Amino acid sequence: MAIFVDENTRVLVQGITGRDGLFHAGKMREYGTQVAGGVTPGKGSQTVEGFEVFDSMHEAVQRTGANTSVIFVPQRFAADAIIEAADAGIKLVVCISEGIPVIDMLRVVSYLAKKGTRLIGPNCPGVISPGKSKVGILPGQIFAPGKIGVVSRSGTLTYEIVSHITKSGLGQSTCVGVGGDPVTGSNFLDVLELFRDDAETEAVALVGEIGGSDEEEAARFIKQELGKPAVAFIAGRTAPKGKRMGHAGAIISGSSGTAEEKVETLNAAGVPVAEEPAQIATLLKERLHEA
């Protein structure tokens, strides 16, 4: 089985008539994902490159039976787009949009908890179960079906690490980019719990970065509950304190959130941490052999 997405995933693209939305809708369809159509208010009853466009999520869900949404709308509309998807009955929302204000995301996360809707992102590359379905902007050609679960706060760094895993012959069960904003929907713990219960996932690669405490919390979960081999990589080891590096959540405050602190906590939990991305595949093979 896969987590989040599989052959039965039916996707609506919010913002499908925009440049990015239409481009990635095509890429998802090429990969084999069931893209049921898209939503752009005021542009319903159109067809763009073979995709039917609807005015609202309620109409789109009723007409297509979609269960998943991916969001490519501008930041000022993104929070409302997530809420609209949840109101329409969508159970998984993947938000690619970046720059959404923290105060808006606090409102969104609270609302989704009441609706029972899962959110991945915002400011994330999405999710893919290789050979089954991809939702987002992940480059499908670098992934291969396999037994490694990947969860990451980074986008492009994930692609490099996944490429090494694929070339090593291990492949991936599911890869999830949770996003690097201060407030996101699903976090490391949410994904690790699903990997723990997934029979196809035999080991986990965690890609973290400076800032926050998600990696430290993940280390405790891995040690106490995961029950599967895990390895990690932490980006931002040379970042100066108090300066944001790339993601809005990647900022060191005082002595908290440093790369050294995260590496030490992960090592103490029995999780080897690669010094460079290329080492991830080697560490995974070693841990699987030990298991």
The pLDDT of residue 143 is above 60 = yes
HSE-CB at 154 with a 13 A cutoff on CA atoms is: 24
Separation of alpha carbons 8 and 135, rounded Å: 12
CATH 3.40.50.261 positions along the chain are 139-290
CATH 3.40.50.720 positions along the chain are 10-120
Q: 10-42 pLDDT, tens per residue?
A: 999 999 999 999 999 999 999 999 999 999 999
For residue 21, the cross-strand partners are none
Separation of alpha carbons 279 and 241, rounded Å: 26
Q: Pick the catalytic residue: 24, 58, 164, 247? A: 247
Higher per-residue confidence, 255 vs 219: 219
Mean of all residue pLDDT scores within the chain: 93
Out of 3.40.50.261, 3.30.1490.20, 3.90.1150.10, 2.70.160.11, the CATH code matching 139-290 is 3.40.50.261
The CATH class, in words, for 10-120 is alpha beta
Identify the pLDDT of residue 251. 46
The pLDDT of residue 145 is above 70 = yes
Active site residue 247: yes
* Cβ contacts of 275 within 8 Å, gap of 6 or more: none
Q: 222-263 pLDDT, tens per residue?
A: 999 999 999 999 986 655 555 444 444 444 444 457 889 999
Global confidence as pTM? 0.93
Percent of the chain with pLDDT over 90: 85
Tell me the mean pLDDT in the region 88-95. 98
